[in-house]
Structure 1
Amino acid sequence: MASQTQKLFIRTKALVVFLVLLSATACKKNDTPEGIEKPKAKVRVVNAVQASGEVNFFLDDQKVIQNNLTFGESTGYLDVFSGERNVSVSNNTKTTPDNKFTFVTSISYTLFALTDRNSNPDVLIMEDDLGAAPVGKFKLKLVNLSPTVTSNINVLLPDEELLVSTLPFKNYTDNFIIEKGTVIKIVAGSTIKTLNANDFEEGKNYLLWLSGTSNTNLTVNKLSYN
């Protein structure tokens, strides 16, 4: 028959084992599992700075693009860690203040490097729609990135049907679903840019970004997403 001393020793030993196991379990819960990658989003960077030199792109003060982009150039989609990040771009000797932006896991974005109305570097980030367009149609989104075009942008469909009214600088539209073969007019003051049926393919997603140093040299730039 066990003595009181033996019983106390057994109970003490059992308690020590329990506490060790509890501590190990807590550590496993707090440790980051090895081999599991942090969640990521995707971002494509476009240099929309008219007549600029090269543009650099930074996340949390770390340069993301090794080969700088000239005007009109874009990257493919880059993997970036999701969550709140400090985003900045530099143009020649000027750099934007940090812009805090939250990248959502598995979402794709387009980031435009641009200049504001005072010629300071600026940035605009948009979530991309990569879903397929319906049969016989295409998707279209527009963004005004010209700080020097004095007239707001209007977009017209055939028979002068108004699709977009007075799109101001640094603003963008929703995604429109448009019939294949539709002629689209983009108007800035007396300047009219006509996009014909052959400019858009069925089933694709397009982003038109508008640039130019005045109404008369308004330029329509096109990006395709699939």
Structure 2
Amino acid sequence: MYLRKMLFILLTFVSAVSLAACSDDENTTAATPTAKANVKVVHASQDAPGVDLLVDNTVAGTNLTFPNNTGYLQVNAGTRNVKVNVSGTSTTVIQANLNLMENKFYSVFAVNQASAIEPLVLEDNLTNPASGKAHVRFIHLSPNAPTVNITLTDGTIVFGNVAFKGSVDFTPLDAGTYNLQVRDAATNSTVVLEHS
């Protein structure tokens, strides 16, 4: 049984937002705004302690614990140095230089066991779903769990053959309530029952 293992199912509903721009007839020179990207950090290492997040050596979040996340943080686009430190210390457990594109959204997962913690960086496609649809992404973040299938209770495979650190892009599904099972891809035995 893998009841203590962590498998994430992310369900994202995205709604359209209208923006209106105002024009200014005055000839004034405004400073060019700095290009921004959006980054969310997720503590996904079950046995790791709380951590602090630093972007270019500036603290961006403190005492993030499993399985919480920072929400999206706006950071300057371009190459950013991201560090994850043991909370309240200068001990860096993850360090990565991330190339972040303007107006893009990213999730950085701190994954694996504490002794081998590492970053998993994914770009988040937050495109609006079609009417009556929801966008769903599955990410396998349990280091000791087998390769899995995500199925309906009747065995129909929704996402198939996903190994540790593997992910499935945001996928349109009919909006509604699903009872999903996580099954060992090799044996078809049920590992976890998840409601979404």
TM-score of the two chains, using structure 1 as the length reference: 0.62
3-state SS of paired residue (2:165): coil
**Residue in structure 2 matched with residue 179 of structure 1 by the alignment:** 174
In 1, distance between residues paired with 2:191 and 2:70?
Answer: 29
**Superposition RMSD in Å:** 2.4
**Residue in structure 2 matched with residue 42 of structure 1 by the alignment:** 38
1:115 aligns with 2:112: yes
Match of 2:102 among 87, 102, 105: 105
Match of 1:148 among 126, 144, 150: 144
3-state SS of paired residue (1:112): strand
One-letter amino acid of the structure 1 residue matched with residue 100 of structure 2 = F
**Residue in structure 2 matched with residue 203 of structure 1 by the alignment:** none
Match of 1:95 among 67, 92, 95: 92
Match of 1:162 among 157, 168, 175: 157
In 2, distance between residues paired with 1:135 and 1:192?
Answer: 33
One-letter amino acid of the structure 1 residue matched with residue 107 of structure 2 = T
1:84 aligns with 2:79: yes
Q: Which has the higher contact order (CA 8 A, sep 6+)?
A: 2
3-state SS of paired residue (2:128): coil
One-letter amino acid of the structure 1 residue matched with residue 103 of structure 2 = S
3-state SS of paired residue (1:119): helix
* Alpha carbons 2:138, 2:159 under 8 Å: kept: no
Shift of 1:122: 1.2
* Alpha carbons 1:89, 1:121 under 8 Å: kept: no
Spell out, residue by residue over 1:72-95, the C-alpha distance to the aligned partner (whole angstroms, 9 max, x if none).
111221110101122232346752
TM-score of the two chains, using structure 2 as the length reference: 0.71
One-letter amino acid of the structure 1 residue matched with residue 140 of structure 2 = N
Spell out, residue by residue over 1:47-69, the C-alpha distance to the aligned partner (whole angstroms, 9 max, x if none).
1120332112222333221x321
% identity of equivalent residues: 29
Paired residues, number: 162
Shift of 1:44: 1.4
1:194 aligns with 2:189: no
Q: Which has the larger helix fraction?
A: 1
Structure 2 gaps, min length 5: 1-28
Shift of 1:158: 5.8
* Alpha carbons 1:59, 1:86 under 8 Å: kept: yes
In 1, distance between residues paired with 2:194 and 2:95?
Answer: 37
**Residue in structure 2 matched with residue 60 of structure 1 by the alignment:** 56
* Alpha carbons 1:95, 1:121 under 8 Å: kept: no
In 1, distance between residues paired with 2:183 and 2:86?
Answer: 29
Shift of 1:36: 2.4
